Amino acid sequence: MFNNLTNYEDDPIEALFKRIGADKSVDKIDLGIGVFRDQSGQVPVMQAVVEAEQQLLKQNASKSYMSPLGNMDYCADLERSIFGVDHEALQRIVSAQTPGAGAALRGAAEFVQSLSPKATVWFGSPCWGHQIEFFERAGLSVKQYRYYNRAVSKLDFTGMLEDLGALQEDDVLLLHGCCHNPTGEDLSLPQWQRIAEVVREKRVVPLVDIAYQGFGSGIDEDVAGVRLLAGQVPQLILTVSSSKTFGIYRERAGLLSIVHQANASADSLRRKLRDTLRQLYFMAPNHGAAIVHEILSSETLQQLWRDELNAVRQQIVEMRGALKVTLEQVNPNFDASFIQRQKGMFSCLPLSAAQQLRMEQQHHIYMLPNARVNVAAMSTEQSKALANAFAAIIGE
């Protein structure tokens, strides 16, 4: 059986990680993987997480199975964190805690496929590559709508609306709630409003994926778009990651929610969701979800976490400002204002694939496809090296 498998290739992201590992230069800079690093290059553990774990250890809680729907306290906490305490969507929501938003997206794909196999799922272009895979693997058709114009480093909202003209009833429209991956370019509130109108006109189901709450403009500000949308559409799918927001990447905690019409059967939806997830991975892990619940259910820990998350955002905002200035200093004709305007971890530099390869080979600087750089993983020194290398490459 196993002899039949030959020449199985790495996907572009795995291949990049291998090239980074193989590069022995002391000057190499990894701007690929999506983690936050402090100025010393470490991926820090939040103090709120450390204290929550200490409390959990003292509680010595059972390690018995939960349900495939995971930790219900975590679900209630995250529903409130996303929607606020009094949003009407909380009256018509069914949720599961999943092993991260990756699993939530894969679960959503399976859920949609089983209920609406002919639906097409629409992704912005460019898009985080794994996101599309989750839906293709479930057997759904996928299409892309214009989202970002790399030639001018701006959102292409006109192109987006034109492409969404082709949506068919029951299609799924995937949107990033904040800090768009890979472009950092988010919709404004009037644009979310326009999207709500499109969703209603076309009778499609929006799927909002939120992986960076708190990294853009603020913990509440970053979810203003999804709050607006959920209040105006009959149904919505929501996926949320706690990996970055709580810095618990490897603990695997995420949310998958179905906001349904008021007259739908919540019990049936919950049972269907439970069975869908059970068939995918049987049971959810609990540790990450328990940490998040410990933090969000304690006033002191919640405040500590908010302060730490605000400091993370502050570092990203400062780094964006500094990178813009440095890029423009060494490239006098280059307008880098988009770096400062965009939100969250990522931005895409206007480099071709060939130029990106030269950044690796000549300057040991590694980025994901679309020249996506992780601004949140950069030290001040590295941002200067990036700006100089960028100037050298575009000046060739």
Active site residues: 128, 209, 244
Check residue 128 for interaction with ligand PLP (CB under 6 A): yes
* Least separation in angstroms between CB 343 and ligand PLP: 13
Q: Which residues, at least 6 apart from 139, have a Cβ–Cβ distance to it below 8 Å?
A: 113, 117
- Binding residue for ligand PLP (CB under 6 A) from 241, 342, 370, 383? 241
φ, ψ of residue 234 to 5 degrees: the values are -70, -35
Check residue 211 for interaction with ligand PLP (CB under 6 A): yes
- Binding residue for ligand PLP (CB under 6 A) from 37, 92, 106, 176? 176
Of 146, 173, 170, the residue nearest 158 (C-alpha): 146
* Least separation in angstroms between CB 121 and ligand PLP: 14
* Least separation in angstroms between CB 181 and ligand PLP: 4
* Exposure string over 188-221, b if 16+ CB within 10 A, otherwise e: eeeebebbbebbeebebbbbbbbbbbbbbbbbee
- Binding residue for ligand PLP (CB under 6 A) from 102, 124, 184, 247? 102
Check residue 100 for interaction with ligand PLP (CB under 6 A): yes
Residues 34-73 that bind ligand PLP (CB under 6 A): 34
The amino acid sitting at 27 is: D
Q: Please identify, among the stretches 69-77, 94-102, 325-333, 380-388, the one whose residues bind ligand PLP according to the rule CB under 6 A.
A: 94-102
What is the Cα–Cα distance from 46 to 93, expressed in whole angstroms?
Answer: 30
Check residue 251 for interaction with ligand PLP (CB under 6 A): no
* Least separation in angstroms between CB 312 and ligand PLP: 15
Partners of 233 in the beta sheet?
none
Check residue 247 for interaction with ligand PLP (CB under 6 A): no
Residues that bind ligand PLP (CB under 6 A): 34, 100-102, 128, 176, 181, 209, 211, 241, 243, 249, 254
